[in-house]
Each structure stands twice: as C-alpha cells, then as structure tokens.
Structure 1
C-alpha cells in the first residue's frame, strides 16, 4: 500500500483506481486496506490449516475460501497494473511479483484442472509460503488505515515482520521437503516448531532434517536470520540515536540531522540557524 496518491476528482478512471488503491484517508481507502489485510490473514491461515488432517467437508470449504481469495487478489493485481502510471514498473515491482507467486498454485488448478494434485507437492506447494510476504506491502510507508506511525515504529514493525517471515517461509519450505519422508513432520506446526528451535539455537534434537533439501533450507534460514535481523535492528538503534535530532539539511554540504540548538552545521560549519525553544 502507499499514501502518495493525488486527488482523483476530475481524473480518469485509471487515476481513480490508482488513488483508492494507494489511499489511507478516505472511507473507501480504509475499507480496502482492512479488507486486504483480513484476506491476507485468511489466505495464510488456509495454507496452514490445509496441512492438518481435516474432514472432507472442511477441506472442501478451505479450498473454496482459498480459490475465492485468490480471485480477489488476482482482481487487485490487475487493477494495480491497470491504474499504475508505469505498468511495466508495476509488473516488475517486488510486491507485484509476490502477489502473483502467492496465487499461482491456486489459479493453476482453474487453468489446468489436471494439476490439482500437483498443488500439494513439490515446487507448487513450497511456493505457496510466499503468501506471507504480501504483508510487507502494508509497511511501505508510515501511513496506515488507523493513522500515521513514526519511522522508528515502522522499522520495529518491519523487524517483527521479518522475524515472522523467516520463521514462516522456512517452516513452509521445510514442511514441503520433509513431510513425506520425515515421520516427525506431520503438520505445518511441527515444521514451525523445528524452525523456531533451530534458529533460536536451542536445538532440542527431537526433530532433525532427513533430506538434503531440508538441511539446506535450515542452513539458508540461519544465514538469513544472521544477516537480515541485525541489519534491520541496526536501523532501529540508529533511529533511536537520532530521536533528539532535528531533520534539517545543510544547504552547503547536505549533512542532515542536527542538534536542536545548532546554529551551524557540525560537518562544514555553514550557518543553518535552527529555531530552538530556550524553555526546553
């Protein structure tokens, strides 16, 4: 999502579509945001539920929900491409690629009915875990349907989402590779438990990967957590370190973030004359 839409009044249909898909302030924009967030949660929940033994009736219901949500997301994707200023950029955008990958396994059944049994095995089953990446679209900027958050809060949200994403994606891919051959992996919950224990370095040893791909998935997840989590955490620490600074850019050297009472740039000495309340 985004917040940098212009007023649609007097614009073309494309302008109106683009505005409401990016808007967080109007009733329509907020409803769309909330609806898409709820559908994301449902989409991910269905994926997890389908790994558990359920009755035929419930399995049929889950498939109906999955198919219905996939159609809604397909419509959303097509509207985004239609309303985008640059359709090429929109199609190649990371979030758009994730949107397509998230629904491909489900939509493949409609296009190729014979592939229904393939959606639960191999690559197609593994790729369904990218659904969780759709949540990153809601952290593109500080504007949300409930208001505006600070940059620091947004970075904390991204860090929390990154941790959950690493756990979820790793568990999903690990489940795909290990489920059929590893007696300890019956459901997504078993795979998630293993990932949390492994990445937290607790390592009880009650569940271990038995396939080569499963081992490589575990290694990749550990490396990803070592790289991504400290990197995002460092941004939060840096933001906290600038809490008492004012984002004033020096016209001479471009140095940003100065002390509240600074009258000269501490990098080049150029006069910046910030306003400062002496009562503080």
Structure 2
C-alpha cells in the first residue's frame, strides 16, 4: 500500500530502496518504520499534553523539553529524507500529509522566537492518519469514500435544510426578544436571543438563558420538540444517499462480472457460440456420445 503518488517513486538505486521503507508498508522494514514513527508521534503528543499540566510542567519541565526537541529533530530528519527521495519534492510539500508534516515541525522552532506556540504542536495528531496505511485498512478508506460521495450528492439538500434552520432560529430569536427583553435581562438583544434559539433547537440546553413569560416558555417548548425531529433530517438525507450509492455499486459490480464472463466465453470458443449454450436438458436425454465429447 502506497502513501504517496506512485509516479513520484524513484525507478532504481538507493532512493528507491529508501522510498520503499519511508513511503510504503509492503516490506517488513517499511512496516517497522511506520510503527516506530507512530510510536514517536504518540510520545510527542503525550509530552505536549503533559506540558499543559501544571504538576508535570513544574517538576519535569526540563526533561519534557529535551524529549520534545529530540523528537522534533527526528521528525525534521524524516521530513528532509522524504523530500530527498521523491522525484518531485514540490508535489509532496503541497500534498495534504506533506503540509501536515511541515506544520507539525514549525511550532517547536517558532517557540524559540514567540511564546505560546508550543501547544500548536498538537497538530501532530493528524499524522496519526498514517495508521490507515500501516494496518492497510483499505476497506475503511473505501467506506470513507462512500460517505464522502454521499455527502457531496446530498449537499444541496443539506444546504436547503441548514437555510431553513437558520430562518427558524432567527425568527424564534426575534420573537423571544420581543416577549422577554422587558422582564428578562438574558434576552438583551436579538443576536443573544438567536443564540438561545440555536442552543434550544439543537437540544443542548446550556441553561444560561431561559424564558420566564408564559408565551416564551410555550415557544421554547415547541422549539425543543421540533429540535428532536429536526436532528434526524440530515441523518436521513445522508443515509439515503449512502444506500443509493451502495445499491448502485453492487449493480455495477454484477454487470461488470457478467461482461467478464461473456467475454471469457467468447474468447474460449473463438468468438462462436459455446457448445453448452445449444444443449438443453441432461446429457442422457438424447445426446450422442459425439455431442458429449464436444461439450
């Protein structure tokens, strides 16, 4: 399984051998390299997280910084090696994982000149996406592609749905503002009332703002009930598109299989009709020995 564009793979020489280790998992060395890389990424994320805990930061600040700089040095060497072995370094730099690899290095070096940039190193968590390559989870990648296609196919329906929700929360927020602002300081403006409508419609219910008038409480009750129903709408839209895509894919696969079988039958009979196609019923039912041999 390849992580990068196969066209960037060197044809021969030491670069091709190193490429098979750094970018591929088809060899034991490549698999071991990726496992060790994931371990280093997890260790780096752990160190970054511990640096935000006061207890660990006070007692082990120096050790954590040393570990972080060692890991950053290793990641820097890895990034340089990747650039050195690909045939087109620019394509790797501007690829998704290439950008992630670069951005995961910058915060450590920027911390030498700017404060509070160390925590940005948590972007290294995105490098854990390589786990899909290491365990060769092609099936999961295929399912992810199916879900993405379903989202793209239903984007207009979802856009209409979100537009409708936006109109609802604006109208409800404005209505609650006129009902509540005179007796409830929580509804001090229409934007704040719209915020309340969004929180209520999504059934989150922070409780920082709540209506006190009878009319406001009645509208809030309707909005909460409506929220339970509206949550299922995008799920149904995307679910229907996924089902359609799965059904279409299965039909296409069966049609392709039938075409292959037909082509194979024609090739095996030099383009003529296969002998078995003109024989009906069991062989013992009036079929001569010559017909059996030919069949």
TM-score of the two chains, using structure 1 as the length reference? 0.51
CA gap of 1:9–1:136, structure 2 versus 1, over 3 A, is closer
Q: Aligned partners of 2:123, 2:74: CA distance in 1, in Å?
A: 17
8 Å CA contact 2:41, 2:124 repeated in 1: yes
Q: SS in structure 2 opposite 1:150?
A: helix
Equivalent residue number for residue 258 of structure 1: 252
Point out where structure 1 has 5 or more consecutive residues left out of the alignment.
Answer: 160-196, 207-229, 247-256, 265-271
1:273 to 234, 246, 259: 259
Aligned residues: 180
Matches within 5 A, 1:56-67: 56-67=58-69
Match of 1:18 in 2: 19
Is residue 134 of structure 1 aligned with residue 127 of structure 2?
yes
Paired residue for 2:204? 202
Kindly indicate whether the alpha-carbon contact (under 8 Å) linking 1:21 and 1:29 is maintained by their aligned counterparts in 2.
Answer: yes
- Alpha-carbon separation, structure 2, partners of 1:240 and 1:59: 55
Alignment check: 8 A CA contact 1:81 1:87 kept: yes
128 and 148 in structure 1: CA distance in 2 versus 1, 3 angstrom threshold = closer
Distance 1:145 1:259, change over 3 A: closer
Does the 8 Å contact 2:20/2:27 carry over to 1?
no
Given that residues 5 and 23 in structure 1 are in contact (C-alpha distance below 8 angstroms), is that contact kept between their aligned partners in structure 2? no
Greater CA radius of gyration, 1 or 2? 2
- Distance in 2 (alpha carbons) for counterparts of 1:9 and 1:125: 36
Note the C-alpha offset of 1:79. Answer: 0.7
**Does 1:44 find its partner at 2:45?**
yes
CA distance in 2 between partners of 1:52 and 1:145 (Å): 31
How many angstroms does 1:82 deviate by?
0.4
Q: Deviations over 1:12-71 (max 9, x none)?
A: 222222221122121111111111111222222222211111244422222122111111
Instruction: Find the aligned partners of 2:52 and 2:241 in 1 and give their Cα distance.
Output: 39
Q: Is the 8 A contact 2:108 2:118 kept in 1?
A: no
**CA distance change for structure 1 residues 63 and 79 in 2, over 3 Å: closer, same or farther?**
same
CA–CA distance in 1 between the matches of 2:240 and 2:66?
Answer: 41
| Deviations 1:58-96 (CA, angstroms, capped at 9, x unpaired) | 222221221111111111110110011101111222222
CA RMSD of aligned residues (A): 4.1
Q: Residues 58-207 of structure 1 correspond to what in structure 2 (within 5 A)?
A: 58-108=60-110, 112=112, 115=113, 118-119=114-115, 121=116, 124-125=117-118, 127-139=120-132, 144-151=133-140, 155=144, 202=204, 204=206
Which structure shows the higher helix fraction? Answer: 2
CA separation of 1:234 and 1:79: change in aligned 2, threshold 3 A: farther
- Kept in 2: contact 1:98–1:130 (CA 8 A): yes
Residues 73 and 273 of structure 1: CA distance in aligned 2, closer, same or farther (over 3 Å): same
Residue 240 of structure 1: CA displacement? 8.3
The alpha carbon displacement at 1:135 in A equals: 2.3
Residue 201 of structure 1 and its aligned partner are, at CA, apart by: 6.2
Residues 273 and 129 (structure 1 numbering): CA distance in 2 closer, same or farther, change over 3 Å? Answer: same
